[in-house]
Amino acid sequence: MAITKTKRKMGIILVFIFIFMFIMNSMSPLVYDDYHYFVKTSSIKTIFADEFHQYMNWTGRSLVHLIFRFFTKLPKPFFNAYNSLMFTVLVYQSVYLASVKKEKMKNNLFIKTGVVFALFWLFIPCYHEVFLWMAGSINYLTAIVIMLSFILVYHKAIINNQIAKRLKRTNYWKIIGVFFLGIAAGWCNENTSAGTLLIVIGYVLINAALKKRRIEGWMISGVLGNLIGFIFMILAPGNAVRSAHFARNDMSLVWKIVDALPAISNSLRDNALFPITIAFSLILYSFWGREVTAEKFIKVLFFVGGLATIGVLAVSPAAIGWSRSYFGGIVFIFISLIIGFSEVLEDKEVNNRLISSIFLGYLLLSFSFSFISGVIDIYKNYNAYDRQYQAIKEQKKGGERDIVVPTLNNTLRTQYPLKSADDITNDPNNQRNKNVAAYWGVRSIRTEDKDAK
């Protein structure tokens, strides 16, 4: 009965989260690469051929870009629903991992879910790019859902013992299935796929060293699949072409690291010091004079995996300042934090209630101030883009093929709205203008003259 109530509560929470994110996605425009990939992808039938060309000439993130290309050829409401579902799944995965044991899901369910949602809102780098932008969210949100799904296979088997009983005999279907899931998780995102590999290896070591169990065949096949997918992504010929566009590409490995460490340290200090400090403090608190268990090591695993995911950016040829590249590592650190906080919530000592109250009070106030202004900005941004869309529709309906739209002309004060004033400029021959024109099926498109009344 308790499990049924838990599922019902979780279901209600997730439905509300889905509805909220669907509204946010519906109020977010297409920008940047959304139009570019619409043009670059001839049709749904050519998706694989188009992506192979990109694998050879630009980037190795083939799995997520195949999904992205697919959605560029569908009406945007399909993506809105899909992306909202991915966010909802990410929240569920985070709460599940935060509970460590499945039977503890029911404990403080509303608080854990609220903390997850608030952390995502407050501290995720480039919220608008990883949760609302079609290209960005499929590259990062969809990717992290795939990677956490892979990690959860190990978590459920090793920590929750859900599969261990069925592994007394070799299960070849599971070996094959986890192998291909590992390939998918490894072929998503350069630094986060590397962090995922580190985390699953950590689970295998916990299984052998702390759980005192033999390493099963599927555990090895999953790690190998993850490594193979990662290698296919990293060795894509297109990566060399893309890397040449970044100044850091000409640096030696040592100088890349020397150049990057201050930038990465400053970025974490300025943008994520609070969650990192809390996560680390909860780890120290958990182990201080207490028994070492496999369950306690999970939060260490995610914390170290998160820092490693971010740290590996030091060897990247791209820019290493605070950006969506930090996303996967920050999510891993959040999971570590929530695991530690869940342990404190379940401890009935007075000082732990004080710790919980201070943390929740800070998070609630910060979230309340930021949430209202962020949602208002998203709505203002939606109105500005909607004026452009209505102008396009009205002129197309009247038979006009050279479209003129009003400028966005909106002042935004938060990071949450998705905006790109450069997608429709005053120059109809600008490549971005051409991409937008192709999407809308018109000959040309531009903004009205600045002195137009």
For the chain, count helices (H), then strands (E): 19, 2
CA gap 216, 164 in Å, rounded: 9
Which candidate, 142, 149, 127, places its Cα nearest to that of 85? 142
Query: 270 burial class (0-12, 13-18, 19+ CB within 10 angstroms)?
Result: exposed
Predicted local confidence at residue 278, as pLDDT: 96
Residue type, 345: L
Task: Say how many residues make up the chain.
Answer: 453
Residue 243 identity (one-letter amino acid): S
Q: Tell me what pLDDT residue 164 has.
A: 45
The alpha carbon dihedral of 311, 315, 319, 323 has a sign of negative
Average pLDDT, the chain: 92
pLDDT tens, the chain, 453 aa long = 445 788 899 999 999 999 999 999 999 999 999 999 999 999 999 999 999 999 999 999 999 999 999 999 999 999 999 999 999 999 999 999 999 888 888 889 999 999 999 999 999 999 999 999 999 999 999 999 999 999 999 999 999 876 544 444 568 888 999 999 999 999 999 999 999 999 999 999 999 999 999 999 999 999 999 999 999 999 999 998 888 888 888 899 899 999 999 999 999 999 999 999 999 999 999 888 778 888 899 999 999 999 999 999 999 888 689 999 999 999 999 999 999 999 998 887 767 888 889 999 999 999 999 999 999 999 999 999 999 999 999 999 999 999 999 999 888 999 999 999 889 999 999 999 999 999 999 999 999 976 444
What CA–CA distance (Å, rounded) separates 95 from 89? 10
Partner residues linked to 447 by β-bridges: 405
Q: Which two tokens stand for residue 173?
A: 């279907």
In whole angstroms, what is the distance from residue 282 CA to residue 33 CA?
40
CA–CA gap between residue 261 and residue 398 (Å, rounded):
57
